[in-house]
Structure 1
Amino acid sequence: MLDAELLARIQFAFTVSFHIIFPSFTIGLASFLFVLEALWLRTRDETYLSLYKFWMKIFALAFGMGVVSGIVMSYQFGTNWGPFSEFTGGVIGPLLAYEVLSAFFLEAGFLGIMLFGLNRVGPKLHFTATTMVAIGTLFSAFWILSANSWMQTPDGYVIENGRAVVSSWIDAIFNPSFPYRLVHMVLAAYLTTALVVGAVGAWHLMRDRENRAAKIMFSMAMWMAAILGPIQIFAGDLHGLNTLEHQPAKVAAMEGHFETREGAPLILFGMPDMEEEETKYALEIPKLGSMILTHEWDGKITGLKDFAPEDRPNAAIVFWTFRIMVGLGVLMALLGMASVIARLRKKLYSCGSLHRFALLMGPSGFVAILAGWFTTEVGRQPWVVYGLMRTSEAGSPVAPTAIAGSLIAFVVVYAIVFGVGTAYILRAMVKDPRSAHIPEETEILRAGGRQSTAAHPPVAGE
């Protein structure tokens, strides 16, 4: 029978997995909308406006589902993780409050103008609203990642009366892992959005290769994949080096190393066995593990056996989630390279194999983000705050049946609500983006009991 701690962890993992999908999409999508509106204002090309309206509807629904799923998570701090909230409240509480005050209020304050004000306010004011929403999503990522990074590499605190209290906000916010995690996550969000946009563009190009709107979004998405794919691999390497410095047990689990070795191999595949303390059926490349992690062929890599059994993360999970993330990251970079080759050969819009590749890669950003977060969070175990508080000490004295009941309710409700929402988003994506902006002949403006007409500009042709 599952105990309360494990059930609470499963419940939080379930809700956070649903939640993170939507912010990771809307962070990149808000910036994409910013670029589209900027291009429309600069060129007055109606195709950019069509694309803006097309993706704005999708953004609105994804943003709404992200807010709903985020609210549910916050309640679990008080119900399932009371001791954790009491211990970290002096640090985590203000960081989350700053996220609400500086990010969520900024998004909410301008979201209405962005969604409904295109024909009601001036273009400059509407563009300002879009800009503020895009900035707000980045601020939100900043504060949330700062709070989570503090749990990974706590800094700028003192312990008073059994509670963590901030001694330096600069050190607490900009803790050792935060800069690396922020860059890695924002790049992941932009790549995730680019892959979705590229997949939608490829879908429409496979049906009509002369669809100019599809050409524009496919081209923009492929530029993002080509540029950010290699940058993300480099950022991931820096993040890995930071993790090796501050959380060596996590890296040992990620790499499947149980023995401390100099000139450690890179284990491509294998089956980590926590009881036998070895990675079985390992397929290795000699010394490459040390070269990647220490940048030296004979660099020393600490194995899991150097840590007490109760301090070891579960390598059987972390080993594979890490490889899923890295493998998808390599495929993203390959997609970007393939698009550059096709572009140079003047076949970006006619290469069917590239379009199919991009379509298959559409959901890969979400899978990579989930795999990365599982690696990060499971790899931190058995600590909820690394080196300060164990997960076993953080749970509330709640009956397992109560947690199990709420977990079942979450699964049912989420399956219905988010299933319908996702289906609606997919339906919106398969619609022709050119139909998103069909100008009316006139619009009726009532002022002082009088009617006037205002002609809309025609849609730009090829």
Structure 2
Amino acid sequence: MFDQFDAIFLARLQFAFTVSFHFIFPAFSIGLASYLAVLEALWLWTGREVFLTLFKYWLKIFAIAFAMGVVSGIVMSYQFGTNWAVFSDKAGPVIGPLMAYEVMTAFFLEAGFLGVMLFGMNKVGRTLHFVATLAVATGTFISAFWILSANSWMQTPAGYGINEAGQFIAQDWLKVIFNPSFPYRLVHTVIAAYLTTSLVVGATGAWHLLRDRDNEGARVMFSMAMWMAAIAAPVQILVGDAHGLNTLEHQPAKVMAMEGHYQSHPDGAPLILFGLPDQNAASVRYQIAIPKASSLILKHSLDAPLAGLDTVPRENWPPVPVVFWSFRIMVGLGMLMLLLGVVSLIARMRGSLYEWKPLHRFAIAMGPSGFVAVIAGWVTTEVGRQPFTVYGLLRTVQSASPLDAPAVAASLIAFIIVYFAVFGAGVWYILRLLSHAPHRGESGIEGAPTRTAGITPIQQTDGPSPSGAFR
């Protein structure tokens, strides 16, 4: 099946496959860890048992997703030594410490408190357990910080020097860590993780509302998820725009590929909505475009000139068709997320958030869209960087290990089989857990305070609760 491909292409395909599998789990667990912290905080604040029920409900899901993320991430690190030894040698003095910082800070923090978070509710007390939950949520963010810093340095290298052995070395660690694209990529990715989680939570709540609209847990999770979608989706669009402008400044060829601009436009560039990019002919066939709209978006002027790939040496062109379409998938799903948030606000104002079945079906359909969007965004970022591993400095063909194609193909096939078997089973089990609705009394916490227990952390009144918005 892979006979016609060379070793470098197969190594790239293998890394793309494994990192795509891996990425979906951190994209979910980062947002879910924060969601669990919010649920536990609301339980401690209000005493409503529904928040504790939902905490325990999603805690099981988080444990499985976190475990699969760790296992899939370990596999990727081995590939740096097996398939990308030259890259590891040349970029290791910069990338290696950043990866080590992630282990020493984020992973140790998560691993140290995860057991308390999972099993310590009845053993360490509510306050310490909440501290553990916050520590795990913080650890997931710190992990994203270091990984994205390393990736962003490969996109926009800064603060480096090159020694006599041809290795990149850090001359200014602050410039290495906070390289030009890092702040934008960090914010964009973390918001994407929150959106991904909210869409899964919203789809789960909508699924159970269609079966029992009076289920309190389903109502609360659906309401919270729709608030997140309504708030985070428009913010993400603004952040994405800022990230795009930063990319235009530091990686113009990537933006040219995203926009499908093979030719320069001195009097305003069109926004190509759809079309079929032809790399050989250097044109987008059958395009549907809005005149000068790309210049308006990227330069905030209808007549602003935009350079095309005709200003870039052809050997430095990224694969335009892949970048062009992955970018449109990401943006298109982002627009649908915005629409879902707006529709949910309309339903909320009409008082039909829990009764409007078309909204619930829309939310269910959007459940997996966050995962698709983050993978499409990753493809846009990584394929758009080609043909470089360290942008403008180290080419991909110069980064690979001297391997034969059959050896890489064999390991790729093994990865495909094992990944679909192991992680497919994990995803199936998660979906099975989600198919069961959350119910009161399932929290399993000794002495859990409830609104009906007579004693709660907060004096009960007949007035509105602090969590009334989530009813």
1:15-94 equivalences under 5 Å are 15-94=18-97
**Shift of residue 305 of structure 1?**
1.3
Q: 1:356 aligns to what?
A: 361
The CA RMSD over aligned residues, in Å, is: 1.3
**Shift of residue 439 of structure 1?**
5.0
**Shift of residue 121 of structure 1?**
1.1
Q: 2:255 aligns to what?
A: 251
What TM-score do you get using the length of structure 1 for normalisation?
Answer: 0.95
Q: 1:220 aligns to what?
A: 224
Q: Which amino acid aligns with 1:294?
A: K
Q: Distance in 2 between matches of 1:192 and 1:369?
A: 8
Q: Distance in 2 between matches of 1:133 and 1:351?
A: 36
1:30-429 equivalences under 5 Å are 30-161=33-164, 162-261=166-265, 262-429=267-434
Determine helix, strand or coil for the equivalent of 1:299.
coil
Q: Is the 8 A contact 1:53 1:436 kept in 2?
A: no
Per-residue CA distance 1:181-200 (angstroms, 9 max, x = gap)? 00000000000000000000
Q: Distance in 1 between matches of 2:451 and 2:16?
A: 47
Per-residue CA distance 1:78-103 (angstroms, 9 max, x = gap)? 00000100110110000000000110
Name stretches of at least 5 consecutive residues in structure 1 with no aligned partner: 444-454
Q: Distance in 2 between matches of 1:384 and 1:275?
A: 23
**Shift of residue 435 of structure 1?**
5.6
Q: 1:402 to 1:342 in 2, by over 3 A?
A: same
The number of aligned residues is: 449
**Shift of residue 458 of structure 1?**
6.1
Q: Is the 8 A contact 2:340 2:363 kept in 1?
A: yes
What TM-score do you get using the length of structure 2 for normalisation?
Answer: 0.94
**Shift of residue 44 of structure 1?**
1.2
Q: 1:116 to 1:257 in 2, by over 3 A?
A: same
Name stretches of at least 5 consecutive residues in structure 2 with no aligned partner: 454-470
Q: Distance in 1 between matches of 2:450 and 2:271?
A: 59
Q: 1:217 to 1:296 in 2, by over 3 A?
A: same
Report % sequence identity: 63
**Shift of residue 299 of structure 1?**
1.3
Q: Is the 8 A contact 2:49 2:448 kept in 1?
A: no
**Shift of residue 438 of structure 1?**
5.2
Q: Which amino acid aligns with 2:105?
A: S
The higher-RCO structure (CA 8 Å, 6+ apart) is: 2
Q: Distance in 1 between matches of 2:85 and 2:364?
A: 44
Determine helix, strand or coil for the equivalent of 2:5.
coil
Q: Distance in 1 between matches of 2:278 and 2:312?
A: 16
**Shift of residue 460 of structure 1?**
4.8
Q: Distance in 2 between matches of 1:314 and 1:436?
A: 54
**Shift of residue 398 of structure 1?**
1.1
Q: Is the 8 A contact 2:53 2:438 kept in 1?
A: yes
Q: 1:53 to 1:135 in 2, by over 3 A?
A: same
Q: Is the 8 A contact 2:26 2:69 kept in 1?
A: yes
Q: Which amino acid aligns with 1:144?
A: I
